[in-house]
């Protein structure tokens, strides 16, 4: 087995005992990227000189006996998290040459652990998409089937982990953008509680929904990354002062007696038969672990997509107003006046999906329609949150499919935005409610495509998700299967 095949915890054991060096691991990953990324397009930028310098430093740290679980581990970072001195594009032409002068807080925390940054991963432009097809740098392809999407918007991070082009990655999740690609690529992906992970340095799409989180090869690696990236940050006004537990402490812990809720609204018409079967079998596995299974109701689920696609575009319209081509970002080459410069720079710099959402959001916030659209959507959001609060009074976790189908073909929905938006139905409610959710592999379709199982818990109870996910993973072994890529 090659070094790039291993997990964080497997490599930590080898690094801490001196069996391998971080430089050897990093070289292994870089060679893997060089050999297959032309097929996958997981990366926008590969930071080879930085990675090798960090690996050399990590080896020096390890030689002094100071090896933490992430020391010397090559990680990929979604290209929406600012990294000092490294181009950060958000998958957009408008930020094609933007180099941040500071680190996002999550990047700073990983640097303090002497992690290695292997590159910046591809993504839907400004995280607006479910397929990683809207990137200015071209679509990312699913390592399980190169004709299919890897999910989005963190599709580059997911594909990089699935194809062993990194050991683990960070993504962001505004409406399912960690969990959906995790499901499509056969990974573990966790969206933390809103306020659990700092958003400082995360370039904003929808500020009340965005959260950074881990995308990994197994649940233990997710716990290790969560231990580092979580915690209060005074630089983020939405960061909350809540104690961060040791997420690895619940690994292997018995789940007998815990209760799981099965919401009837998530097993509806339109759910693919193979997905429904795999999730039902996963529920039986959990039931076999002596978990109590209850049918529950989340009655406002049907309104989640409509509410989200008013709230998120409205916030995007406000956030993306800063890209005026004056202080930074793309500026048109046309010699025009000020107003024309704004118009041409934005129309040339933004892609079609971003423009669509800016227009939707601007309309929803306009004086004559604010109460009818944005205000009403915000009220529905409150009802969705109350639905979850009611269910969590009787259940520890909720179990659902992550995605209504397996990964679809590239180009299949690109001209049908409504159909694309509806694929977010199972993931959006967690973002609207601000609660944590995790996706993990629970099977494969007849065509060999991964299927994801989603677990949700109440706010700041990520340890319950990790405990139940680890218990299921121990029984299932789906996470051990790897895609076969022609070298």
Residue 334 pLDDT > 90, yes or no? no
Mean pLDDT of 237-244: 97
pLDDT for res 442: 98
pLDDT for res 423: 87
70 close to 110: Cβ distance less than 8 angstroms: yes
The verdict on pTM exceeding 0.95 is yes
Q: Using H for helix, E for strand and C for coil, what is the string for 228-284?
A: HHECCCCCCCCCCCCCCCCHHHHCCCCCCCCEEEEEHHHCCCCCCHHHHHHHHHHHH
Mean pLDDT of 163-186: 98
Share of the chain above pLDDT 90, in %: 95
Q: Can you tell me the distance from the alpha carbon of 216 to that of 167, in angstroms, rounded to the nearest whole number?
A: 7
Q: Can you tell me the distance from the alpha carbon of 4 to that of 43, in angstroms, rounded to the nearest whole number?
A: 16
Residue 465 pLDDT > 70, yes or no? yes
Residue 486 pLDDT > 80, yes or no? no
Q: Can you tell me the distance from the alpha carbon of 485 to that of 487, in angstroms, rounded to the nearest whole number?
A: 6
pLDDT for res 439: 98
pLDDT band at 44 (very low <50, low <70, confident <90, very high): very high
Mean pLDDT of 449-456: 98
pLDDT band at 228 (very low <50, low <70, confident <90, very high): very high
| 56 annotated active-site | no
Residue 335 pLDDT > 80, yes or no? no
Give Cα 43 to chain centroid, integer Å.
Answer: 15
* Residue extents of the structural domains in the chain: 3-251, 302-379
pLDDT for res 225: 98
Mean pLDDT, the chain, integer: 96
What homologous superfamily does CATH list for 3-251?
Amidase signature (AS) domain (3.90.1300.10)
| 153 annotated active-site | yes
5-41 per-position pLDDT tens digit = 999 999 999 999 999 999 999 999 999 999 999 999 9
367-420 per-position pLDDT tens digit = 889 999 999 999 999 999 999 999 999 999 999 999 999 999 999 998 888 888
Active-site position among 22, 28, 78, 413: 78
Phi then psi dihedrals of residue 337, to 5 deg: -75, 180
DSSP string of 142-203? BTTBTTB---SSSHHHHHHHHTTSSSEEEEEESSSTTHHHHHHHT-EEEEPPTTTB--TTB-
127-148 per-position pLDDT tens digit = 999 999 999 999 999 999 999 9
Active-site position among 28, 130, 131, 153: 153
Active-site position among 177, 198, 317, 406: 177
pLDDT for res 192: 98
Residue 336 pLDDT > 80, yes or no? no
Which of 248-278 are b and which e, b meaning 16 or more Cβ less than 10 Å from the residue's Cβ? bebbeeebeebebbbbebbeeeebeebbbeb
pLDDT for res 487: 39
**289 vs 421 pLDDT, higher one:** 289
Mean pLDDT of 433-449: 98
| 378 annotated active-site | no
105 close to 202: Cβ distance less than 8 angstroms: no
């Amino acid at each position: 087995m090659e070094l790039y095949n291993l997990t964080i915890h497997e490599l930590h054991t080898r690094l801490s005992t001196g069996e391998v060096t971080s430089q050897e691991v990093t070289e292994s990953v870089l060679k893997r990227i060089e050999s297959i990324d032309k097929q996958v397009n997981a990366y926008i930028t590969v930071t080879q000189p930085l990675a090798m310098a960090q690996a050399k430093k990590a080896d020096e740290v390890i030689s002094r006996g100071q090896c933490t679980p992430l020391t010397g581990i090559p990680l990929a970072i979604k290209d929406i998290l600012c990294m000092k001195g490294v181009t950060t594009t958000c998958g957009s032409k408008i930020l094609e040459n933007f180099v941040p002068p500071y680190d996002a807080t999550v990047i700073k925390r990983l640097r303090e652990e002497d992690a290695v940054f292997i590159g910046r991963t591809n993504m839907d432009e400004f995280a607006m998409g479910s397929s990683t097809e809207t990137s200015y740098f071209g679509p990312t392809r699913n390592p399980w089937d190169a004709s299919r999407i890897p999910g989005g918007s963190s599709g580059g991070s997911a594909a990089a982990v699935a194809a062993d082009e990194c050991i683990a990655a960070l993504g962001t999740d505004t409406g399912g953008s960690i969990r959906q690609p995790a499901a499509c690529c056969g990974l573990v992906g966790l969206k933390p509680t809103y306020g659990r992970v700092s958003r400082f340095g995360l370039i904003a799409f929808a500020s009340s929904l965005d959260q950074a989180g881990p995308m990994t090869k197994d649940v233990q690696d997710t716990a290790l990354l969560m231990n580092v990236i979580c915690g209060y940050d005074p630089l983020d006004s939405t960061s909350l002062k809540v104690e961060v537990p040791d997420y690895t402490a619940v690994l292997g812990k018995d789940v007998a007696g815990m209760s799981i809720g099965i919401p009837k609204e998530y097993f509806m018409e339109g759910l693919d038969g193979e997905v429904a079967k795999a999730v039902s079998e996963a529920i039986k596995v959990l039931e076999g672990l002596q978990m109590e299974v209850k049918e529950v109701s989340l009655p406002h689920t049907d309104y989640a997509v409509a509410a989200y696609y008013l709230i998120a575009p409205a916030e995007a319209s406000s956030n993306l107003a800063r890209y005026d081509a004056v202080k930074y970002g793309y500026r048109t080459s046309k010699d025009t006046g000020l107003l024309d410069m704004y118009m041409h720079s934005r129309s040339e710099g933004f892609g079609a999906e971003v423009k669509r959402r800016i227009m939707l959001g601007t309309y929803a916030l306009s004086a004559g329609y604010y109460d009818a659209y944005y205000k009403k959507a915000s009220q529905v959001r409150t009802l969705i949150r109350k639905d979850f609060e009611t269910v969590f009074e009787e259940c520890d976790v909720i179990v659902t499919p992550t995605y209504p189908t397996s990964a679809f073909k590239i180009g299949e929905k690109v001209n049908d935005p409504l159909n694309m938006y509806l694929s977010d139905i199972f993931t959006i409610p967690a973002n609207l409610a601000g609660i944590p959710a995790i996706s993990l592999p629970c099977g494969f379709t007849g065509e060999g495509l991964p299927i994801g199982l989603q677990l949700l818990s109440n706010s700041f109870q990520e340890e319950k998700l990790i405990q139940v996910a680890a218990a299921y993973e121990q029984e299932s072994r789906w996470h051990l299967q790897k895609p076969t890529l022609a070298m």
